[in-house]
């Protein structure tokens, strides 16, 4: 029937099948459960293996999957933007998360651009700066942002940019899981786990009860989905108006469409402020918004991994392998090195969750933390949730100012614009480091060559 001709509907059903299959596998295959790999990632790997890129058993539509990832990204950011900030005071660990997430994003941007310039010099042929810039997007921001910006940068000559972004994000997930789980085991053997990570959780306060529908009113979940939809519709209208005024500037237009998630988040934050001041009681339920965001993250993660085209990886193997290998290794080592120096309480738990967040996504970091703290009752869980929201502010200059510079001027001003962007990234990295040191709890105590120095004396 014609009703089934839409690839989006069929692929959404296939994602549901993959997620349920992954749920079953994790519960009936003990080694998989013990390894701690999130269900959504298992589902995505299944989709990749069964899909057209490998075995060709499951007739997935790559374009439809990419569309799901693109729109799902905006939905996640809008859902997060509409949530009230979690209660509690800003502890030192949360302050370090606020600085740490953008610090690693900027560091990964510097590594990516530096390696692009190095590979260009060694190979004697131009390597698109987008390869380097997709490292922080894929590792630190996740598959949605990497696909969105990669797709936008195709207009500037980054061939298969959306696929390159998805591959970068997939490699980031691999670093988070296949290095994060051994990291937990290593820390346990070293005795680095803190008893504070198994706290009672009383500090988080009582969980807000789920809302109930009033007679004749919309179901609460319907109202929340409608609000997200309205914000996204306004986002579309605003972007359409902006891009209409930029007619003829194709690269800039593509980049504006690629920033749809940031525009949606800004609108959501603004609407949250209006609702908070208009109503005595905030009408949106943060827990329900969080559930909707979590659902979308699961779908986006599965779709992103299943949408990878292996042929694109083979065509760009050298830059992808070099950039992700160096970026992943530096991120892992620096996370451990900063543990005792940036997090006064439960340092190793913060290392684990920060490594997961800066190579995967926030849910990936929390999944790794659950290996140590199954109920997420320790300070690391609350600190990363509180800090990640505010970290967006410090990460904005990287996304809005530095990243567009080398791509918008490619290839006319390559490598000059890329060198300028590299200098800007390094300067901003130093600025964040100094700010973290004097405003946050970062302290350079102990021998600098020691990854895990003794705590400073009180």
State the pLDDT at residue 319: 95
Which phi and psi angles does 362 have, rounded to 5°? -60, -45
pLDDT-based confidence at 197, cuts 50/70/90?
very low
Decide: residue 189, CB within 10 A, 0-12 exposed, 13-18 middle, 19+ buried.
Answer: exposed
The predicted pLDDT at position 95 comes to 93
pLDDT at residue 13, as a whole number: 93
Query: Could you tell me the pLDDT band of residue 457, with boundaries at 50, 70 and 90?
Result: low
The pTM assigned to this predicted structure is 0.82
Q: State the pLDDT at residue 416.
A: 92
Is 250's pLDDT higher than 90? no
Q: Quick one: DSSP state of residue 141?
A: I
d(CA 352, CA 10): 37
Among the listed residues 103, 113, 127, the one whose alpha carbon sits nearest the alpha carbon of residue 403: 113
Tell whether the model's pLDDT for residue 23 goes beyond 80. Answer: yes
Angle at 51 between CA 50 and CA 53, to 5 degrees: 115
- Burial class for 89, CB neighbours closer than 10 Å (0-12, 13-18, 19+): exposed
Mean pLDDT over residues 76-103, rounded? Answer: 82
Position 387 confidence tier, pLDDT thresholds 50, 70, 90: confident
What ranges make up the beta strands (E) of 137-253? none
Sign of the Cα pseudo-torsion (433, 423, 351, 203, in order) = positive
Name, in order, each residue with C-beta under 8 angstroms of 179's C-beta and a sequence gap of 6 or more. Answer: 328, 332, 355, 359
Q: What is the pLDDT of residue 195?
A: 55
pLDDT tens digit sequence for 281-316: 888 888 898 889 888 888 988 998 898 889 999 999
What is the 8-class DSSP label of residue 403? Answer: T
Q: Tell me which DSSP letter residue 139 carries.
A: I
Alpha-helical (H) ranges within 138-259 are: 143-153, 161-190, 220-244, 250-258
Place of tokens 């400073």: 456
Give the pLDDT mean for 18-41: 83
Give the percent of the chain with pLDDT over 70: 92
What whole-number percentage of the chain has pLDDT above 90? 43
Rounded CA-CA distance 370/377 in Å is: 10
Residue 86: pLDDT band with limits 50, 70, 90 = low
Q: How far apart are CA 99 and CA 378, in angstroms?
A: 20
Lowest mean pLDDT among 17-31, 92-106, 354-368: 354-368
The sign of the dihedral angle between the CA atoms of 98, 99, 102, 104 is negative
| pLDDT confidence of residue 384 | 83
CA–CA distance, 301 with 298 (Å, rounded to integer): 5
pLDDT, tens digit (0-9, with 9 covering 90-100), for 316-346 = 999 999 999 999 999 999 999 999 999 998 8
Average pLDDT (373-388) is 78
Mean pLDDT over each residue of the chain, to the nearest integer: 86
Residue (of 401, 288, 443, 370) closest to 33 by Cα position: 370
pLDDT of residue 196: 46
| Per-residue buried b or exposed e for 93-107, using 16+ beta carbons within 10 Å of the residue's own CB | bbbbbbbbbbbbbbb
173: pLDDT confidence band, cut at 50, 70 and 90?
confident
Q: How many of the other CB atoms lie within 10 Å of CB of 370?
A: 16
Q: Is the pLDDT of residue 198 over 80?
A: no
Q: What pLDDT is attached to residue 204?
A: 46
- The angle at the Cα of 425, spanning 170 to 130, to the nearest 5 degrees, equals 40
Number of helical (H) and strand (E) elements in the chain, helices listed first: 19, 0
Give the alpha-carbon dihedral of 252, 361, 23, 375, to 10 degrees.
Answer: -150
């Amino acid at each position: 029937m014609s009703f089934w001709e839409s690839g989006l509907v069929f692929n959404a059903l296939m994602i549901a099948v993959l997620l349920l299959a992954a749920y079953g596998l994790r519960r009936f295959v003990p080694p998989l459960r013990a390894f701690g790999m999130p269900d959504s990632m298992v589902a995505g790997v299944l989709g990749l293996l069964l899909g057209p890129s490998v075995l060709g058993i499951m007739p997935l539509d790559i374009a439809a999957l990419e569309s799901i990832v693109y729109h799902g990204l905006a939905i996640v950011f809008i859902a997060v933007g509409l949530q009230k900030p979690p209660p509690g005071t800003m502890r030192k660990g949360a302050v370090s998360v606020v600085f740490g997430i953008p610090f690693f994003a900027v560091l990964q941007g510097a590594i990516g651009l530096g390696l692009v310039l190095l590979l260009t010099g060694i190979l004697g042929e131009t390597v698109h700066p987008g390869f380097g810039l997709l490292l922080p997007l894929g590792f630190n921001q996740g598959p949605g942002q990497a696909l969105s910006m990669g797709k936008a940068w195709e207009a500037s000559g980054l061939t298969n940019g959306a696929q390159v972004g998805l591959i970068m994000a997939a490699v980031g997930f691999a670093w988070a899981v296949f290095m994060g789980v051994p990291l937990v085991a290593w820390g346990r053997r070293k005795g680095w786990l803190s008893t504070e990570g198994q706290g009672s959780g009383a500090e988080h306060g009582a969980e807000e009860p789920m809302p109930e529908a009033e007679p004749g009113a919309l179901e609460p979940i319907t109202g929340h989905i409608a609000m997200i939809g309205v914000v996204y519709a306004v986002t579309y209208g605003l972007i359409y108006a902006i891009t209409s005024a930029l007619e003829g500037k194709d690269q800039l237009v593509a980049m504006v469409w690629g920033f749809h998630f940031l525009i949606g988040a800004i609108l959501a934050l603004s609407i949250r402020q209006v609702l908070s001041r208009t109503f005595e009681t905030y009408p949106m339920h943060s827990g329900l918004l969080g559930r909707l965001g979590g659902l979308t993250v699961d779908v986006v993660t599965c779709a992103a991994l299943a949408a990878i085209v292996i042929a694109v990886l083979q065509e760009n193997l050298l830059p992808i392998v070099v950039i992700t290998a160096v970026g992943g290794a530096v991120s892992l080592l620096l996370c451990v090195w900063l543990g005792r120096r940036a997090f006064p309480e439960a340092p190793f738990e913060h290392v684990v969750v920060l490594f997961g967040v800066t190579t995967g996504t926030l849910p990936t970091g929390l999944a790794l933390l659950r290996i140590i703290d199954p109920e997420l009752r320790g300070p690391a869980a609350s600190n990363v949730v509180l800090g990640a929201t505010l970290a967006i502010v410090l990460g904005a200059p990287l996304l809005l100012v530095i990243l567009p510079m080398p791509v918008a001027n490619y290839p006319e001003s390559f490598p000059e614009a890329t060198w300028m962007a590299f200098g800007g990234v390094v300067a901003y990295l130093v600025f964040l480091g100094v700010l973290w040191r004097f405003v946050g709890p970062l302290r350079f105590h102990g021998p600098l060559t020691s990854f895990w120095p003794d705590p400073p004396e009180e």
